[in-house]
């Protein structure tokens, strides 16, 4: 377990709450985007100044800006205006995109009590034939390898039919914005057939890896491409099956609680909490898979490790936490230890080393999480949508950065 210390070493990563707070500043005296960093498994909280909102002088502005993605040296945020919120998973969400970058560490001598960053507004899609964001679940951020975080692309992938197209249309649309430019670019791509599943495709998430973006559907698999390429090529990778999905206790509408795709230790990982429909809860398996990319471009999955909830519950490490024996919800994957997965359970957030079936750390009531209390729709249930594992940029890990440290009780 983790204990408190007077001078903790600066962590290389933090658990970032994706729903941000709002600082009530003004356009005349704008504030800075800031982050109150906390040592994992506590949650770090982002604060967004009101002056960067679409309607900064509006009395009832967005109470819940949302971190869409975190990669390399920056964060991508979606910010809206009343009665909408940045954390809006509906189609065609109103709002703007912001990139936070050029982070400055907390420095008491410079009057910075928290980490601060520069925010850059991403241009709107100004052309009449370019529609707005279809869904923030389709949008990703990736930095160009070797650029030191100076160059990035924001991209959205759409598989809906083109105007005038028919059901046999095998094309996709990639809308992308590259740093240093002033407009979005729209490109048509050839879409893999995906065994007739393309018309059922919708993204649950987007992950960045090795200069590429991967659009994730937690049932049908991944679609990936290099958005920096002059002619991007989409690649489809089917997800592995511990059991056929139709024979499991997993419900499609709750798939985000039991499946997640993330990057850890430089590779794409897929975590599945699953059991056969006829099995009791204690027989639920936690399985971690690693995506292997061959030299020819072919990709497959290798099972990395697996355990069952029965084995975890029986361990001394789990019993010591006092947590109930209930099926948890996936929260995140440790970015530098691919065997460690974090879960939500009631008021707890805890990490398990799956290869050892051992609880590594846990925290009760990590309520640095911002409660979503505004917006025109009820927010989705707790899942990995509320957290991101953010590997801190070198400007923070190499400098003097202040963190809050709490005892793990």
pLDDT digits (tens, 9 = 90+) for 184-206: 999 999 888 765 555 557 899 99
C-alpha triplet 201, 290, 204: angle, nearest 5°: 25
The pLDDT confidence band at residue 103, using thresholds 50, 70 and 90, is confident
The pLDDT confidence band at residue 61, using thresholds 50, 70 and 90, is low
Q: Mapping DSSP to helix (H, G, I), strand (E, B) and coil, where does residue 108 land?
A: helix
Model pLDDT, residue 5: 37
pLDDT digits (tens, 9 = 90+) for 297-336: 789 999 999 999 999 999 999 999 999 999 999 999 999 9
Q: Bigger pLDDT: 370 or 100?
A: 100
pLDDT of residue 156 exceeding 60: yes
Task: Give dist(CA 96, CA 78) in Å, integer.
Answer: 6
Q: Bigger pLDDT: 99 or 60?
A: 99
| Four-way CATH pick for 13-397: 3.30.1460, 1.10.3470, 1.20.50, 2.130.10 | 2.130.10
Residue 384, phi then psi, degrees to nearest 5: -65, -10
pLDDT of residue 129 exceeding 60: yes
Task: Give dist(CA 222, CA 211) in Å, integer.
Answer: 16
Return the number of other C-beta atoms located less than 10 Å from residue 6's C-beta. Answer: 5
Are 52 and 119 a contacting pair, CB within 8 Å? yes
pLDDT digits (tens, 9 = 90+) for 36-48: 888 899 999 898 8
Task: Count the helix, strand and coil residues of the chain and give each as a percent rounded to the nearest 5.
Answer: 10, 40, 50
The pLDDT confidence band at residue 104, using thresholds 50, 70 and 90, is confident
Question: 210, 264, 289, 260: which is closest to 387 by C-alpha?
Answer: 260
Q: Bigger pLDDT: 170 or 353?
A: 353
pLDDT of residue 283 exceeding 90: yes
Q: Bigger pLDDT: 167 or 370?
A: 370
Model pLDDT, residue 349: 95
Percent of the chain at pLDDT exceeding 70 = 83
Are 333 and 327 a contacting pair, CB within 8 Å? no
Q: Bigger pLDDT: 396 or 287?
A: 287
Model pLDDT, residue 102: 81
Torsion angle in degrees (nearest 10) through CA of 372, 217, 237, 268: 10
Q: Mapping DSSP to helix (H, G, I), strand (E, B) and coil, where does residue 170 land?
A: coil
pLDDT of residue 392 exceeding 90: no
Summary mean pLDDT of the chain: 84
Strand order in the sheet with 152-158: 139-143, 152-158, 171-178, 185-190
Q: Name the DSSP letter for residue 200.
A: G
């Amino acid at each position: 377990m983790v204990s408190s210390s007077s001078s903790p070493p600066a962590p290389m990563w933090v658990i970032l709450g994706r729903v941000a707070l709002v600082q009530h500043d003004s356009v005349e005296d704008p504030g800075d985007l800031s982050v109150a960093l906390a040592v994992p498994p506590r949650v770090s909280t982002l604060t967004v100044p009101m002056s960067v909102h679409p309607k900064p002088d509006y009395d009832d502005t967005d109470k819940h800006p949302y971190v869409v993605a975190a990669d390399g040296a920056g964060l991508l945020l979606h910010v809206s205006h009343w009665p909408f919120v940045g954390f809006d998973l509906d189609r065609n969400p109103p709002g703007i995109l912001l990139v936070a970058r050029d982070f400055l560490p907390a420095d008491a001598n410079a009057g910075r009590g928290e980490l601060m960053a520069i925010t850059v507004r991403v241009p709107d899609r100004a052309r009449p034939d370019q529609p707005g964001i279809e869904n923030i679940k389709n949008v990703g951020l990736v930095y160009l390898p070797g650029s030191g975080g100076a160059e990035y692309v924001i991209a959205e992938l759409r598989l809906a039919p083109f105007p005038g197209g028919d059901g046999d249309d095998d094309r996709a649309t990639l809308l992308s914005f590259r740093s240093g430019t002033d407009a979005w670019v729209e490109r048509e791509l050839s879409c893999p057939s995906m065994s007739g599943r393309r018309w059922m495709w919708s993204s649950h998430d987007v992950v960045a890896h090795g200069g590429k973006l991967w659009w994730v559907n937690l049932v049908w698999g991944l679609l990936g491409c290099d958005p920096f390429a002059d002619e991007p090529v989409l690649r489809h990778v089917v997800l592995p099956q511990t059991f056929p999905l139709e024979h499991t206790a997993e419900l499609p509408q709750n798939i985000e609680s039991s499946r997640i795709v993330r990057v850890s230790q430089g590779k794409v990982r897929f975590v599945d909490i699953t059991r056969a429909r006829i099995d009791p809860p204690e027989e639920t398996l936690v399985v971690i898979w690693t995506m292997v990319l061959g030299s020819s471009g072919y990709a497959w999955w290798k099972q990395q490790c697996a355990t069952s909830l029965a084995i975890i519950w029986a361990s001394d490490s789990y019993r010591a936490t006092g947590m109930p024996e209930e099926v948890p919800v996936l929260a995140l994957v440790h970015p530098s230890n691919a065997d460690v997965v974090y879960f939500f359970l009631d008021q707890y957030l805890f990490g398990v080393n799956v290869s050892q079936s051992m609880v590594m750390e846990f925290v009760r009531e990590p309520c640095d999480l911002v409660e979503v209390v505004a917006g025109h729709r009820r927010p989705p249930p707790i899942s990995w949508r509320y957290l991101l594992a953010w590997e801190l940029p070198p400007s923070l890990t190499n400098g003097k950065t202040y963190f809050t440290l709490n005892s793990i009780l």
